[in-house]
Amino acid sequence: MPITIRHLSFTYSAGTPYEKKALENINLQINEGDFLGIIGHTGSGKSTFIQHINGLIKPQAGEIEIFDLKLTPEKRPKVNLKALRSSVGMVFQYPEYQLFADTVAKDVAFGPKNLGLPSEEVEKRVKQAIEMVGLDYEAVKDRAPFELSGGQKRRVAIAGIIAMQPKMLILDEPTAGLDPFGKEQILNLIKYLKTHCSPTIVVISHDIDEITRFANRIVVFNDSHIVYDEPMQQLFKHSRQLQKMGLDIPRAVKVVNSLRARGVDLGEDIVTAEDLIKAVVARYNEVHSTSLDENAGVFDMYDFSQKWLTTEERQMLEEESSSEEAPIDKSIKSSEVSEDSKK
């Protein structure tokens, strides 16, 4: 069942000099299975918007339909917030700052316990969630969350949310403040969660290169309004307007745009680095009538660590940012790097 938001408006501290409009007449439908990216600069209303979906803010005007629940400005009927929060999981910015329990297992159990589940079920879910985020359950369950590394803490915090097994997951800046390797691991985790835990995912991010790696649809917030709501491939037709709003566009799009300005047109649908490489190789083949493999040697930071580093080097990287290999690696298809490019 889709999530429908109609005519949603919200103003902070209405009627005081601190008054600030955050949302104005927002209409949006989020379909099941969507991998939705939300972009917009600070203060554009995107955080307020996602807090509405989780029932953390009561709508001032308009209504929200989530699964079979309905949120309205009226006081009655009372919304079953517990049901809402068990079906919509919300990972805030810097989620590791919300850790409080003395052991990892207890912290992850906080959510499912609040749902009133029986203790065996809670335990089962905790184990499942910790393993899902790529940590070794036996090794971390009795450790204090504050002893873990930054990346690990964040994954424990995310485990605390997915232990509630939400049908939909919202993440606010999930990679903020992590090093490139930690970032990569979180991004892969999100991809993994999409297929194994929550089929609908909404991600807020400032890093457009990051969002384009997984989103299939992007919503752009500007000045309390939704200005664009388009499939990922189509959004960057509006590159000029996005840049005018102070938003970044993917590096690949920048390259394609500036090549076009110099008279080289690689086509419209290029958004990610992979798209760009493929297009360039295809053009090369065309011009030089060669038949190079378009799909060879495409890699990201994570693939890089898997293929180019020795085991010790990789281990050092993981110790520093976050230990343990995610089970995710198996689910990621990385194209083979040819012997030639290795040299």
Partner 1 sequence: MRDISFGQYYPVKSYVHNIDARIKILITLLYMVSVFFITSYTAFAGVFLFLTIVIAVSHVPYRTVLRSIKGLLFLLIFTAIINIFFTSSGNPLLQIKIGKLMINITDQGINFAVKMALRFSLLVLGSSILTFTTTPTELTDALEVLLKPLTYIKIPVHDLAIIMSIALRFIPGLMEETDKIMMAQKARGANLDSGNFFKKIKAMLPVLIPLFVSAFRRADELADALDARCYNASNKRTKMKVFKLKSTDLIAFFVFVAIVVLIFLDKYLVGAFVPSPDLGSFEVQGLDIFIYNLLLKIKVLIV
Contact residues: partner 1, CB under 8 A: 13, 16-18, 51, 54, 56, 82, 85-86, 89-90, 92, 95, 97-101, 110-111, 114-115, 146, 160-161, 164
Cα–Cα distance, 137 to 324 (Å, whole number): 11
Half-sphere exposure of 308 (CA within 13 A, CB side): 16
* Contact (Cβ atoms closer than 8 angstroms) between residue 270 and residue 253: yes
- Assigned token pair, 319: 């110790």
Q: For residue 38, give the amino acid letter.
A: I
Kindly give the residue spans of alpha helices, DSSP state H, lying in the chain: 46-53, 81-87, 104-114, 119-132, 137-140, 150-162, 180-196, 208-211, 232-235, 239-244, 251-261, 273-288, 301-308, 311-321, 339-342
Cα–Cα distance, 300 to 67 (Å, whole number): 36
Nearer Cβ to partner 1, position 85 or 213?
85
Cα–Cα distance, 134 to 303 (Å, whole number): 17
Cα–Cα distance, 164 to 110 (Å, whole number): 9
Nearer Cβ to partner 1, position 25 or 119?
119
Nearest distance from C-beta of residue 265 to partner 1, angstroms: 47
Cα–Cα distance, 334 to 126 (Å, whole number): 30
Nearer Cβ to partner 1, position 90 or 218?
90
Nearer Cβ to partner 1, position 92 or 302?
92
Nearest distance from C-beta of residue 181 to partner 1, angstroms: 23
Nearest distance from C-beta of residue 162 to partner 1, angstroms: 11
Nearer Cβ to partner 1, position 166 or 250?
166
Helices 104-114 & 119-132 angle (0-180, nearest 10) = 120
- Assigned token pair, 17: 């000099």
Nearer Cβ to partner 1, position 100 or 284?
100
CA distances from 81 to 26, 48, 71, 283 (A): 22, 17, 10, 54
Nearer Cβ to partner 1, position 3 or 164?
164
Q: In what order do the strands lie in the sheet with 20-30?
A: 20-30, 3-12, 61-66, 69-71
Nearer Cβ to partner 1, position 145 or 250?
145
Nearest distance from C-beta of residue 100 to partner 1, angstroms: 4
Nearest distance from C-beta of residue 144 to partner 1, angstroms: 12
Nearest distance from C-beta of residue 146 to partner 1, angstroms: 7
Nearest distance from C-beta of residue 110 to partner 1, angstroms: 6
Nearest distance from C-beta of residue 340 to partner 1, angstroms: 49
Omega before residue 77 within 30° of 0, cis: yes
